[in-house]
Amino acid sequence: MAFEQEINLEVNNQDFCFQVNQAAYDKYQSTLTRPNANLKQACTNFLMGAVKPEQQESLKSLLQIPSVPMTITAAVIEEYLPDVELRVKPLKGSPKK
């Protein structure tokens, strides 16, 4: 099942709408696992591919500011990923910590 979500952010008083889907997220994650991965470029590519076409020029200028691509990507991904409740259980017979 493909998980698709529209995420709206306001960045420096500008509104942006990102269409994020499983393929875009997977491509972003895959890019990060490559040797010598460039985090800034991976974030920029992810955002430029997800933002509405009419907002690309405005976003492109913001992405030139240091750390902005990573900050926006983190916000988009945090909103995109579903909440999952996890709890690590000890193995049977293992000593308690």
Paired tokens of 41: 């470029």
Q: How far apart are CA 28 and CA 49, in angstroms?
A: 10
**56: containing domain:** 4-80
Start-end of H helices in the chain: 22-32, 39-50, 56-62, 68-80
Looking at the 3D structure of the chain, how many domains does it have? Answer: 1
Mean of all residue pLDDT scores within the chain: 93
User: What is the spatial distance between Cα 61 and Cα 1, in angstroms, rounded to a whole number?
Assistant: 35
- What are 5-14's pLDDT values in tens digits? 999 999 999 9
| 94, part of any domain | no
pTM here is: 0.84
Dist CA 32 CA 52 (whole Å): 23
Question: Which 3 state secondary structure label does DSSP give 1?
Answer: coil
CA separation for the pair 55, 78 (Å, rounded): 21
> Is 12 a domain residue?
yes
- CATH code of 42's domain: 3.30.2220.10
Residue 87 CB partners (closer than 8 Å, separation 6+): none
pLDDT number for residue 97:
61
The answer as to whether 97 is a domain residue is: no
